[in-house]
Amino acid sequence: MVSPDASATAQRVQTWLADHMETFSRRLASIVAIDSGPGDRQGRDAVARRLAAWAGASGLSVETLPTSEGEHLVVRLEGGGTGRVVLLGHHDTVFPAGTAARFGYDERDGRAFGPGVADMKGGLVLGLMAMEALAAMGALAGTVELHSAPDEETRTKAFAAIDLVASSDAVLVLECGRENGDVVAGRKTAAWVELVARGSAAHAGTRPDRGRSAVLALSEEVIRCHALNGARPGLTVVTGTFHGGTLPNVVPDYAEAVLDVRALSAEDLDWALGAITETKPHDGVAVRARVQGRWPGIEAGVNNARLLDHTRQLAAALGQSLGAQTSGGMSDGCWTAERGVPTLDGLGPVGGGDHSSDEYIELKSVPFRCGLVAGLCVAAVQDKGG
């Protein structure tokens, strides 16, 4: 059972954030206006520095850890006990330079729109303000840290500060809540497989019989792999890229594709990768498979059942019900769950349209989610014993 202290904190912070929505919107608009996509390290670092400035002005301690892709931000609220909770996020987006100028921050019909509002700058502002509210309310029986990585969208390995975060007692991931308001209790595990076919070139008009089409061979393999969809519950195989050939009048001697493979368990993923990498030649053309990288998943109910129970009780104390689901998408919470840290995801503002020009968050969800995060911080450090 969640403590009365945790419920009271959640209620107070929800009210506090409702009174500070203007600040939330102003801050979110400020960092959404900064492009922080792939290849834009300067923009990513600028977002981290702006968050750091707000945190420092509120009396929170700030540390930046240099990484090969930019600054990893750590904001810390020191408490009196031994418990330690991490709020986890990232300040990079998928959007290229110039996107913020084309469709910047906008509020209409109760929603905030803009590149990265849901994935996941809205969650970062929410998490920081939850910490500010906790700081203003006095002694916390533990420590709360906000960690924001600069490269979640493009990495195929754990974030640079994983060892630091993995020593915490609980991780609350600030990715957006699902469109129906659910939090994310589970995430699929994934891998990316490169397929390369090498054939023989020939003139497509005069002697096509001398050629061996790499495009045709790779197409056969992609179709074979596609048939694995649904062979295990939740298993998906998607051809993300396919390139081959040089000119219409040349039998192509080279083709390549990258498959996105996702499953509900590591065992099912291993099975799928075994099937995919057992490639077959087609008309004398060999196809080679190489696993480019893997991302762990979060198994719902494994290590996070107590956090989810706390979340539902706190939601009830705030007058709402809360569902949970398993997502096909990934987050850095997958890496902390792999280390055995209780991890609950999707605690940021309710939103949707990720990675598109229609990306949004529901503004009315912000006070509730902020109160929920703050209450969970209290509950998690109390679980540790203060």
What is the tens place of the pLDDT at every residue in 333-360?
Answer: 999 999 999 999 999 999 999 999 999 9
C-alpha closest to that of 284 among 224, 205, 210: 210
pLDDT above 80 for 386: no
31-83 pLDDT tens trace: 999 999 999 999 999 999 999 999 999 999 999 999 999 999 999 999 888 89
CA–CA gap between residue 85 and residue 343 (Å, rounded): 10
| Residues 279, 317 within the same domain | no
83 has which bridge partners? 142
Span of 62-71, 134-143, 232-241, 360-369 with lowest mean pLDDT: 134-143
pLDDT above 60 for 301: yes
Which residues, at least 6 apart from 360, have a Cβ–Cβ distance to it below 8 Å? 111, 112, 113, 117, 118, 351, 352, 353
| Range 289-299 average pLDDT | 96
| Residues 245, 211 within the same domain | yes
Listed residues 267, 295, 323: the one ending a domain: 295
For 342-369, give one letter per residue: b (16+ CB within 10 A) or e: bbbbbbbbbbbbbeeeebbbbbebbbbb
| Residues 91, 154 within the same domain | yes
| Residues 130, 264 within the same domain | no
Which stretches of 278-364 are DSSP H helices?
A: 305-317, 333-338
Would you say 331 and 370 are in contact if contact means Cβ atoms under 8 Å apart?
Answer: no
Q: For tokens 């912000």, name the residue.
A: 366
Listed residues 295, 323, 357: the one ending a domain: 295
Domain CATH for 221: 3.30.70.360
> Phi and psi of 32, rounded to 5°?
-65, -30
| Residues 55, 169 within the same domain | yes
C-alpha closest to that of 266 among 334, 361, 358: 334
Which residues, at least 6 apart from 350, have a Cβ–Cβ distance to it below 8 Å? 176, 177, 178, 179, 181, 361, 362, 365, 369
Domain CATH for 365: 3.40.630.10
**For the chain, first and last CA: distance in Å?**
16
Question: Which range of residues forms the domain containing residue 38?
Answer: 4-187+297-384
* Banded model confidence at residue 385, pLDDT cuts 50, 70, 90: low
| Residues 234, 207 within the same domain | yes
80-110 pLDDT tens trace: 888 999 999 999 999 999 999 999 999 999 9
Neighbours of 203 (CB within 10 A): 12
145-171 pLDDT tens trace: 999 999 999 998 999 999 999 999 999
C-alpha closest to that of 24 among 162, 135, 121: 121
| Residues 291, 306 within the same domain | no
Listed residues 259, 275, 295: the one ending a domain: 295
| Residues 279, 310 within the same domain | no
**Could you check whether the bond before residue 120 is cis, i.e. omega within 30 degrees of 0?**
yes
Would you say 351 and 361 are in contact if contact means Cβ atoms under 8 Å apart?
Answer: yes
Would you say 293 and 191 are in contact if contact means Cβ atoms under 8 Å apart?
Answer: yes
Which stretches of 249-322 are DSSP H helices?
A: 266-277, 305-317
